[in-house]
Amino acid sequence: MRLVVIFALLLFLSGCSFICYGRIGAQELRNVELKLESQVADPNIPVDIGLFSL
């Protein structure tokens, strides 16, 4: 019985976190997109993306 309750709680929390992350993540991406559109790229400045450098 405890295992079922723990599993249900875990499932509920993961669902809530997924929904919140989806909403916040989409808004953050929109903000980054607007910032990138408003800036002019300088080809002399290196850009780091994760482990790769462009």
What is the per-residue pLDDT for 27? Answer: 66
Q: What is the reported pLDDT for 20?
A: 65
Residues in contact with 48: Cβ distance below 8 Å, sequence separation at least 6, in sequence order: 54
* pLDDT in 10s for each residue of the chain, 54 residues: 888 888 888 888 887 677 666 666 666 666 666 666 656 666 676 666 665 544
Calculate the alpha carbon distances from 44 to 13, 29, 31 in Å.
45, 25, 24
The type of residue at 29 is L
Full DSSP string of the chain: -HHHHHHHHHHHHHHHHHHHHHHHHHHHHHHHHHHHHHS---TTS--EETTEE-
CA distance 20 to 7: 20
Whether the pTM exceeds 0.75: the reply is no
Q: What is the pLDDT of residue 8?
A: 87
